[in-house]
Amino acid sequence: MHLSLKYIVTEHWCNKCINVSMQLIEFTEKGLFCHQGGFYIDPWKPVDKAVITHAHSDHARWGSKYYLCHHFTKPILQLRLGDNNYESIDWHQTVTMNGVNISFYPAGHIIGSAQVRVEYKGEVWVFTGDYKTEDDGISTPFEAVKCNVFITESTFGLPIYKWKPQQQIFDEMKSWIQDNKTNGKTSVFIAYSLGKAQRILKPLAETGLPIFAHGAVYNVHQAFVNSGWDLPLVQRVMSETTKEELKESIVIAPSSAENSPWMKRFSPYAIGICSGWMQVRGNVRRKNADAGFALSDHADWQGLLDAVKATGAEKVYATHGFQSAFSRYLNEIGIEAGEVKTAYGNDEEESSADDKTEEPL
C-alpha cells in the first residue's frame, strides 16, 4: 500500500513557518529526516542511518545500512530483518550524530518501544512512534518528555476511543475462556504476534489451561525468552499436535491465520479478537468474531491528550490515524497543531481494513 508521501500541513502552521527545510526534523518521502544529524527515524525506504522506535513492520523496514534501537528491540529486528549493522542503547542514553543528540524514552507500546528525543542547540523534538499511556505490566511504562515540538501518533484520536482498565478486559477474557470451556470449545485469540501476544499471556496463563501458539507468535516469543524475558510457557502448534491436546485449550494466532485452513484443527472453537478497533461493534461483526476485546497498545483519546499536554510542546504534529480530527481539536483547545501523512499504520491493529497479513517470519 502506498500512501501519498508528500506531507500536508494545516494553515495554522503555514502561517508561522517561513522555511520548511529549516526544521530539525523534516517530513520527506523516505520518512522523518534529521538533516543536521544525517539520520532518518523509522524510514519506509532504505537509508544510510535509521533510528528505529520499535520492531513492528511498518516502523522497522528492511534495507538500511545502519540501525539504532533500544536493547530490547534488537533481538526482534534480528529475527525480522536478519543480520544488519545494529547498534542498541539503553533508556535515556545519548548517541550524538554530527552534534545532534539522540536518546530513547519508553513509549509503553510493546517491549522495547521507544520515543525518540532529538536535541540540537537546545531545541528538542520528540517522535513518539506508537505509544500508550497505560502501564501494561510488560512494556517499560510510557514517560512524558518535555520538548518544543512533539510528533505524535493518533491511531485512536477520536473521543469514542476510551479504553477500559486492562484488568477489567483481562477478567472479561478469562470469563469468556471459561464459557468456551463449559461449551467444550477451544478459545482462539487473534492478537498481533509482537506485542499483544506477549501482553495477554499472563492473564491467560492464570486460567491454568495449556496455551498454544501459531508459528509467527511462537518465534517472537522464543526470541524474547532467549534474550532473558520471563514469559509464561507456550507450546507451538505442530502438525503432530493432537486434537486431544488442543481440546478446550487456549490458542494465540495472528490475524493472518483467521479464516485459514490452519484453524480447522481447533474445531470446535470460538474466536476472540484483541484490538482497539473492537471498541466499535460494527468491526466485531464485520470480522465475524465471536468476541471482540478492545485491548489496545495505542493511547486512547484521553491518553493522547494527556501525553500532548505533558510535553509542554509549542507545536504538535499528529500522524497516522485520525490526525486531522485530533490536530483540529488541539488547535481548538489552544495547542498549535498540524497533520503529517506518513506510511505508518499498516500493521494489523493500526489499519482497520481487513485482510492484512503479517510478513512471513
Binding site for other proteins (CB under 8 A): 1-4, 158-162, 277, 279-286, 288-292, 322, 325, 328-329, 332, 352-355
- Minimum Å gap between C-beta 343 and other proteins is 13
CB-wise, 174 or 328, nearer to other proteins? 328
- Please provide the DSSP assignment of 289-342 as one string: -SEEE---SS--HHHHHHHHHHHT-SEEEEEEESHHHHHHHHHHTT--EEE---
- The answer to whether the bond into 268 is cis (omega within 30° of 0) is yes
- Minimum Å gap between C-beta 351 and other proteins is 10
CB-wise, 11 or 355, nearer to other proteins? 355
Three-state SS for 50? strand
- Minimum Å gap between C-beta 9 and other proteins is 18
- Minimum Å gap between C-beta 275 and other proteins is 12
CB-wise, 127 or 329, nearer to other proteins? 329
Amino acid identity at 240: E
Amino acid identity at 153: E
Query: Which pairs count as long-range contacts for 238-244, CB under 8 Å and 24+ apart, including other chains?
Result: 241/212, 241/265
Q: How far apart are CA 133 and CA 131, in angstroms?
A: 7
- Minimum Å gap between C-beta 358 and other proteins is 17
CB-wise, 36 or 331, nearer to other proteins? 331
> Ramachandran region of residue 288, left (φ > 0), alpha (ψ -120 to 50) or beta?
left
CB-wise, 47 or 270, nearer to other proteins? 270
- Minimum Å gap between C-beta 168 and other proteins is 11
CB-wise, 282 or 334, nearer to other proteins? 282
In order of 33, 116, 156, 248, the CA distances from 89 in angstroms are 20, 12, 29, 43
Query: Which has the closest alpha carbon to 202: 241, 163, 248, 167?
Result: 167
Element (H, E) at 116: strand 114-120
